[in-house]
Structure 1
Amino acid sequence: MSTKLDQLSSWLKERKITEVECLISDLTGIARGKISPTNKFLDEKGMRLPESVLLQTVTGDYVEDDIYYDLLDEADIDMFCRPDENAVFMVPWAIEPTAMVIHDTFDKQGNPIELSPRNILKNVLKLYADKGWKPIVAPEMEFYLTKRNSDPDFPLEAPMGRSGRPEVGRQSFSIDAANEFDPLFEDVYDWCEFQGLDLDTLIHEDGPAQMEINFRHGEALHLADQITVFKRTMREAALKHDVAATFMAKPITDQPGSAMHIHQSVVDIKTGKNLFSNADGSMSQLFLNHIGGLQKYIPELLPLFAPNVNSFRRFLPDTSAPVNVEWGEENRTVGLRVPEAGPQNRRVENRLAGADANPYLVLAASLLCGYMGMVGDVKPSAPVKGRGYERRNLRLPITIEHALERMEACKDAEKYLGEKFMRGYVAVKRAEHENYKRVISSWEREFLLLSV
């Protein structure tokens, strides 16, 4: 540990870093932590945070007392957060030289905190490692650029581009529409290169000022860290250019939602061979089992893929998003697409996760579903030929309440994720939904106020 900290110390001193943002991810994916002068950071070799931040909702509230005190120490004790020297990034928008360092969380005895999203992903990756396997993932992040909006009751609008006009209509894959925001994305690419993020391509998606950034394939933990950093970076770059960037799953009525597509495969650690292909290049049984696991368990763990009430608006009819866990080759109308690729690059693209999902938890969930299929010899359904939107046999829960009930009852996943995490996550999402149900919407005021 001391050698690793020495390396981190040298890295900070070489770049003349004066401040360090020490952060962890909560269950929502919000970066929580402390900002410390570099000298103090190096002296303390980490930070302490109340463990209760891991049961905090997106609104800043907490779960009910009986669950809170059943899962956490009644004294509201601290957890110990240690820096990961492999998760250190510059903060290019800061005035002074600043770095952000992602931390892992432990209890007083040195045991990993069971509610920590990063620890959950590390646990799933260990399941693979114990089998001699390593997952490879390549995430794709969709998001919208919008006008700055200070009134939550006012619908979001497309921002002005370089032409001085807001985008209208559908401009999927339009180069000119993407170029409307060239100055912003030049900053994004410069900043991401400065941070060492493995960005690949920029695509204009279907919605007005809706974009997609693709990441190069790599190890799941490193890419979850990168997505966490990228979302902060994208928001900061947007603010610099007087617009907003949102990763809400469905931010604009009657426009496509924003997804986090996850390409995933599994290789043999020793040989590097893709386990999804046989020697003759055909699909392996492990590949089919992996798809079978995704089909069986995604509906059981859907709150990890669709964590908010807004997430389920992506799954409404005629929204251009897949609404089932059917699979097919080169088929974007199903939830699980197998892109055309050579045997070493064979993979499945999970198209069901929302852009609002916690990157650690959604990668953990997607890989765990596939793992349970592989070790449980789960057989997939027949692949879909043609349009799959209307297939009804393998549909998803349609409300977050129903999804949370199914997750709560999934004992197969609880065996791997742990009872404490399962109870804590469901409790946080239920607390958020109770908060949501207390808000009177503009729809109710518009159609019920003077009519009933």
Structure 2
Amino acid sequence: MKDLENWLHEHRITEVECVISDITGIARGKISPVSKFITEKGMRLPEGLLLQTVTGDYVEDDVYYSLLDPADIDMHCHPDPEALYLIPWAQEPTAQVIHDCYDRDGNPQELSARNQLKRVLKLYEEQGWKPIVSPEMEFYLTKRVADPDFPLQPPIGRSGREETGRQSFSIDAANEFDPLFEDMYDWCEIQGLDIDTLIHEEGTAQMEINFRHGDPLQLADQVLIFKRTMREAALKHGVVATFMAKPITREPGSAMHLHQSVVDANTGISVFTNPDGSMSDLFLYHLGGLQKYIPEALPLFAPNVNSFRRFLPDTSAPVNVEWGMENRTCGLRIPESDAQNRRVENRLAGADANAYLAIAASLLCGYMGMIEKVQPSPPVQGRAYERRNLRLPFTLEAALERMEQCQKLRDYMGNKFIEGYIAVKRTENENFKQVISSWEREFLLLSV
């Protein structure tokens, strides 16, 4: 805590945003004067925040009180000095510190998304392995729309025009928003975020930011901070940045592609590669685990009703857990690389997923394959879009049912987390069903 205190004084910080990630990935917490933050060395928050839905509602009482203390007690949140970031868009010198959640007995709170990732990383550590990840975040820029019933539209760029058509990898189309991205890059550099390239993706005003490979926990923290940063930069320039999985009809969805590899914790040498440079058994088992368990853990990669719109037919997202070399039609792509950097790209997670949980789930699926020695299917040559033997659940309801029945996920992530996560997502789904869509009004109002 002393180093953290010195850092706050060195940067003349006056306020600290004390942050945790809820199940959805929303940053929740308290804003504290720096003096109070230093004195209290943490904060207390209601445990119930970890069972709050994206709409601000809570799960039903019988589930709520079966998972949490009936007295609605507080949990204890302690700052992680390794997860300390400046807030460059604040008017006063302000920092944000990500906290870890503990119950009143000092045990890690099982419903915490960050704790779930730390739990998975511990499994790797016990085997002498160290996972490495690199997220790729896709998102759309849109005009501001006050009424949620109105469709989203592309924003006006420097040319004074809306973008039209598909502009994949267009430099000029990305440069339309140079002032916005200059602020984004400056703010990310101030915060120490390990972002790499900016790409204009396939959709209209759809962009992608790639992160440099590194430690999974640090990068999950950085994704949480990056989403806040990107939204703030967009708002400063009069537009909106959205990480919805499928925000615009007939446009591609937004993914969070996860590149992952595993090295020996002592030597740093890839366990995915044999001495002769060929694929190791552990690499194939890792692939086998991803194939076997991603369908069981799909709600951690596709957490919302909107997430499954990304998997509709004739979209660019693979709806399978096939694997292939340099094959983007597979849910599991093996990028071309040298032997030491052999990795798998999990292309199934949506940009709307909680980064802590998506990374934890992806690594856990691979880990279970390595432990159980799960053999993968043969690699795909050619298109994998039409292959049906390794397809995924098509709806959130079906995916949650499948997750609920998976005992292996309960063994590793805990019954409390699985029950809580499913309850939150089912509550959100029931809320969604209460909303009458514009499609229903357009086609049924005067026709039935």
TM range (shorter): over 0.9
Q: How does 1:338-357 map to 2 (within 5 A)?
A: 338-357=334-353
Q: 2:276 aligns with which of 251, 257, 280?
A: 280
TM-score by length of 2: 1.00
Shift of 1:381: 0.4
Match of 1:125 in 2: 121
Q: Distance in 2 between matches of 1:78 and 1:139?
A: 33
Shift of 1:35: 0.1
Paired residues in the alignment total: 448
Q: 1:263 aligns with which of 251, 259, 265?
A: 259
Amino acid at match of 1:258: S
Moved over 2 A (4+): none
Amino acid at match of 1:54: L
* DSSP-derived class of the 1:103 partner: strand
Match of 2:182 in 1: 186
* DSSP-derived class of the 1:57 partner: coil
Q: Distance in 2 between matches of 1:382 and 1:317?
A: 24
Matched, 1:250 2:246: yes
Q: How does 1:335-374 map to 2 (within 5 A)?
A: 335-374=331-370
Q: Distance in 2 between matches of 1:273 and 1:18?
A: 44
Amino acid at match of 1:259: A
Cα distance per residue 1:123-162 (max 9 Å; x no partner): 0000000000000000000000000011000000000000
Q: Distance in 2 between matches of 1:50 and 1:134?
A: 34
Shift of 1:413: 1.2
Q: 2:72 aligns with which of 61, 76, 80?
A: 76
Matched, 1:93 2:89: yes
Shift of 1:316: 0.3
Q: 1:311 aligns with which of 293, 307, 314?
A: 307
Shift of 1:108: 1.3
What is the root-mean-square deviation in Å for CA atoms of aligned residues?
Answer: 0.3
Matched, 1:297 2:293: yes
Amino acid at match of 1:173: F
Q: 2:166 aligns with which of 158, 162, 170?
A: 170
Amino acid at match of 1:411: Q
Q: Distance in 1 between matches of 2:316 and 2:338?
A: 28
Matched, 1:221 2:217: yes
Amino acid at match of 1:213: I
Match of 2:325 in 1: 329
* DSSP-derived class of the 2:138 partner: strand
Q: Distance in 2 between matches of 1:53 and 1:322?
A: 34
Q: Distance in 1 between matches of 2:52 and 2:408?
A: 26
Amino acid at match of 1:192: C
Match of 1:144 in 2: 140
Match of 2:399 in 1: 403
Match of 2:59 in 1: 63
* DSSP-derived class of the 1:372 partner: helix
Amino acid at match of 1:55: L
Q: 2:149 aligns with which of 133, 149, 153?
A: 153
Shift of 1:107: 1.0
TM-score by length of 1: 0.99
Cα distance per residue 1:238-296 (max 9 Å; x no partner): 00000000000000000000000000000000110000000000000000000000000
* DSSP-derived class of the 1:379 partner: coil
- 5+ residue gaps, structure 2, are none
Q: Distance in 2 between matches of 1:148 and 1:381?
A: 46
Match of 2:11 in 1: 15
Match of 2:193 in 1: 197
Q: Distance in 2 between matches of 1:81 and 1:321?
A: 38
* DSSP-derived class of the 2:375 partner: coil
- 5+ residue gaps, structure 1, are none
Cα distance per residue 1:159-178 (max 9 Å; x no partner): 00000000000000000000
Q: Distance in 1 between matches of 2:207 and 2:435?
A: 30
Q: Distance in 1 between matches of 2:149 and 2:288?
A: 42
Q: Distance in 2 between matches of 1:91 and 1:391?
A: 46
Shift of 1:72: 0.6
Matched, 1:441 2:448: no
Amino acid at match of 1:421: F
Q: Distance in 2 between matches of 1:121 and 1:330?
A: 28
Q: Distance in 2 between matches of 1:308 and 1:337?
A: 24
Identity rate, percent: 76
